[in-house]
């Protein structure tokens, strides 16, 4: 299966570099390019892109707003790429529906792996941002209610807790003595019940609801 990738960045040289990296892969192709968020909203939906590499700071509609619009209108998964490792960008990207957040200085192999992971339904956050993101979530005030999570079974809550601890499906299998297809089913049900696009959003929702903490 060929992964259809769209590039959104206001710098042509940056787009050219991404185009070369993506185009070098047998399982990927660049199907659309845009120089700002407004152009992305015009060209990306018609290109039927699977994954969008989206810059943050652009003229007109910025990357966060464009991400929110695209994830609402299409099935494309967005990876936010930026030179600025700022916590507010990570949180805003996740809330906008992004499935990934990487710095532009990430090695090409990390970018390619992120595209494949996001296309496969997983999520990726730059390692340098992960610890501070969890610390920020841990400091959030307790919410007034957690009714959204009441539909989760005990097993699904266990799976969610392990997801929040950064466990992969295989690690969850070993922890709970379950077969991998069973774990995948539980993860899928957790995402569906929470209305989350991916694991990252599910974990963020759980932290915001006070169900899990980094020290859990």
Residue range 18-62, pLDDT digits in tens: 999 999 999 999 999 999 999 999 999 999 999 999 999 898 889
Exposure on the CB side of residue 151, measured as CA atoms within 13 A: 9
- Does the pTM surpass 0.85? The reply is no
Instruction: Supply the mean pLDDT for the chain.
Output: 83
Instruction: Give the pLDDT mean for 93-99.
Output: 84
Per-residue pLDDT band for 200 (boundaries 50, 70, 90) equals confident
Best mean pLDDT range from 87-96, 98-107, 189-198:
98-107
pLDDT confidence of residue 40 = 94
Cβ-contact 211, 149 below 8 angstroms: yes
Does 72 or 197 have the greater pLDDT score?
72
Distances (CA, A) of 28 to 1, 2, 124, 134, 198: 8, 5, 18, 32, 22
Over the stretch 122-179, which tens digit does the pLDDT of each residue have? 878 776 665 555 555 555 444 444 457 888 888 998 898 888 777 788 889 998 998 8
Per-residue pLDDT band for 212 (boundaries 50, 70, 90) equals low
Q: How many CB atoms lie within 10 A of CB 94?
A: 24
Cβ-contact 152, 161 below 8 angstroms: no
Percent of the chain with pLDDT over 90: 36
pLDDT confidence of residue 51 = 96
pLDDT confidence of residue 129 = 62
């Amino acid at each position: 299966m060929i992964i259809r990738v769209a590039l959104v960045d206001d710098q042509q040289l940056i787009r050219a570099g991404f185009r070369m990296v993506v185009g070098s892969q047998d399982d990927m192709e660049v199907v659309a390019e845009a120089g700002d968020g407004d152009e992305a909203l015009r060209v990306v939906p018609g290109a039927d892109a699977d994954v969008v590499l989206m810059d943050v700071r652009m003229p007109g509609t910025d990357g966060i707003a464009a991400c929110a619009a695209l994830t609402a209108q299409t099935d494309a998964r967005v990876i936010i790429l930026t030179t600025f490792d700022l916590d507010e960008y990570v949180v805003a990207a996740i809330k906008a529906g992004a499935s990934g957040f990487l710095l532009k200085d990430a090695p090409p192999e990390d970018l390619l792996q992120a595209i494949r992971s996001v296309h496969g339904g997983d999520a990726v956050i730059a390692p340098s941002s992960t610890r501070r993101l969890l610390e920020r979530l841990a400091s959030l005030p307790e919410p007034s209610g957690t009714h959204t999570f009441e539909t989760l079974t005990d097993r699904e809550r266990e799976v969610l807790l392990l997801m929040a601890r950064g466990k992969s499906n295989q690690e969850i299998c070993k922890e709970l003595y379950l077969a991998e297809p069973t774990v995948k089913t539980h993860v899928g049900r957790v995402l569906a019940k929470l209305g989350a696009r991916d694991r990252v959003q599910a974990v963020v929702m759980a932290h915001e609801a006070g169900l899990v903490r980094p020290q859990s």
